[in-house]
Structure 1
Amino acid sequence: MNSSQPPTPESPASRDTDAARTAAKGRPTRSRKEAEAARRRPLVVSDRKEARRRDRERSRTRQMEAQQALVTGDEAKMPLQHRGPERRRVRDLVDTRHNVAEYFFPVALVFMIVALVLPLIDQSLYLAMSTLLIALLWGGIAICVIDAFFLRRRLRAALTEEFGEVKRGLVGYGIMRAIQIRRFRLPKPQVKHGGAPVEPKKSRAKR
């Protein structure tokens, strides 16, 4: 005698219930295996153009933050070549003193403009003043070199005293900063001439 029972046919009510669930969601219910596979699928951007666009936006944001940090003095977001206590100390040492080069180069620019314009106005006057202009330019360059020599000695002495050594590139970093006009230096000076800290600019009160 066969004890196995024939399979019970699916009732119409059960079929109607499954059909109603599928119609309500708009799609058939996923199996457990399909759901687990979907969770393991990596979340990546398949569109390469979209990925490149996002990379450009992130890069632009980082550049804007770094540029703003050069103005505000936020060292954590500055470019790598300006970070570190040694470089901050070099900047402060340069910014506290009156460097000859920061005054000479604007004057030299005026001399060059005069040398270009003067022949168009008066050739004889240009011939008479050309020797004087050349002497002033070379004399100014010589004074800048001497001043840079004294700055180099001061930087090396201060860095050796505070940090025990002078890392490569620090002295050149300071001399290049000394050549620049003060208002155009980046990062912005955090000390005034003489060593007093620069006061943060106060926003104007709204009228």
Structure 2
Amino acid sequence: MFGRKKDQAPDPQVTPASDEQIARSKDPRSAKGVPTPSRKDQEEARKRPLVPNDRAAAKVIARDARREEQARMRRAMDTGEERFLPIRDKGPQKRYARDFVDARFSLGEFVMFAALAIVLLTVVIPTRNADGSANDSQLIVFGLFWVMVAFVAIDTWLMSRKLKRQITAKFGSVDPGVVWYGSMRSMQFRRLRLPKPMVKRGEWPS
């Protein structure tokens, strides 16, 4: 009674959608008033190479990509952004090691300046006195330098042991090379370290 009769004629005002209209409605990229690209055009677009056939253009694209990557890496060295850091600096344990080293005062920071002072003193201080006898001043300077090197070695060794304990307590184990990574960082002058320090002295990582 309420169903549609089988022999009822279709409404003349309703026209069936064409195949092109159906494809256009299913294509999310199609916009109003923009014709749907033909199958041939779509296949040609898929066949386009990712790298241009022109070698000169390919070199320009590769050079621009390298420059962009290097720029991101330089910014990461300043900001500490993990995803763009070099492989040698990536990882949570290395980040912890950097923060641990940067939070402390290390004698190794001043080895470079001590070595430079030794070179200058060897130029200024004569090797022999006016009477021809050996000048002991240079021996004293070299002796003080080697005493400082010994203290630096002891300080670095103690630091590496503590760093290893801290990393083990926080992460459960120590990745290979992390302790050495922190030890070498402690030998660099703080302002010249890369990536740049993200913590202040005394601001120990948790």
TM range (shorter): 0.7 to 0.9
Residues 1:114 and 1:46: Cα distance change in structure 2 (over 3 Å):
same
| 2:138 counterpart of 1:130 | yes
1:186 match: 194
The percent of aligned pairs where both chains have the same amino acid is 34
| 2:47 counterpart of 1:41 | yes
Offset at residue 34 of structure 1 (A):
6.6
Q: Which runs of 5+ in 2 are unaligned?
A: 1-37
Residues 1:36 and 1:65: Cα distance change in structure 2 (over 3 Å):
closer
Distance 1:161 1:40 in 2: 53
| 2:109 counterpart of 1:102 | yes
Residues 1:196 and 1:173: Cα distance change in structure 2 (over 3 Å):
closer
Instruction: Please tell me whether the aligned partners of residues 125 and 138 of structure 2 are also in contact (alpha carbons under 8 angstroms).
Output: no
For residues 94-125 of structure 1, give each alpha carbon's deviation from its aligned partner in whole angstroms, at most 9, with x where no partner exists.
Answer: 01111011023212311222212333xx8528
Distance 1:33 1:165 in 2: 57
1:154 match: 162
| 2:65 counterpart of 1:58 | yes
Residues 1:46 and 1:142: Cα distance change in structure 2 (over 3 Å):
same
Residues 1:38 and 1:88: Cα distance change in structure 2 (over 3 Å):
closer
1:75 match: 82
Aligned-residue Cα RMSD (Å) equals 2.3
Residues 1:40 and 1:154: Cα distance change in structure 2 (over 3 Å):
closer
Q: Which runs of 5+ in 1 are unaligned?
A: 1-31, 198-207
1:165-176 → structure 2 map (5 Å cutoff): 165-176=173-184
Q: Match of 1:42, as an amino acid? A: R
Instruction: Please tell me whether the aligned partners of residues 125 and 137 of structure 2 are also in contact (alpha carbons under 8 angstroms).
Output: no
Residues 1:139 and 1:79: Cα distance change in structure 2 (over 3 Å):
same
Offset at residue 33 of structure 1 (A):
8.8
The size of the alignment, in residue pairs, is: 164
Q: Which has the higher helix share?
A: 1
Instruction: Please tell me whether the aligned partners of residues 106 and 155 of structure 2 are also in contact (alpha carbons under 8 angstroms).
Output: yes
Residues 1:35 and 1:59: Cα distance change in structure 2 (over 3 Å):
closer
2:16 match: none
Residues 1:40 and 1:111: Cα distance change in structure 2 (over 3 Å):
closer
Residues 1:49 and 1:117: Cα distance change in structure 2 (over 3 Å):
farther
Runs of 4+ in 1 over 3 A off after TM superposition: 32-41
Of 182-191 and 39-48, the range deviating more from structure 2: 39-48
Normalising by structure 1, we get a TM-score of 0.72
| 2:98 counterpart of 1:91 | yes
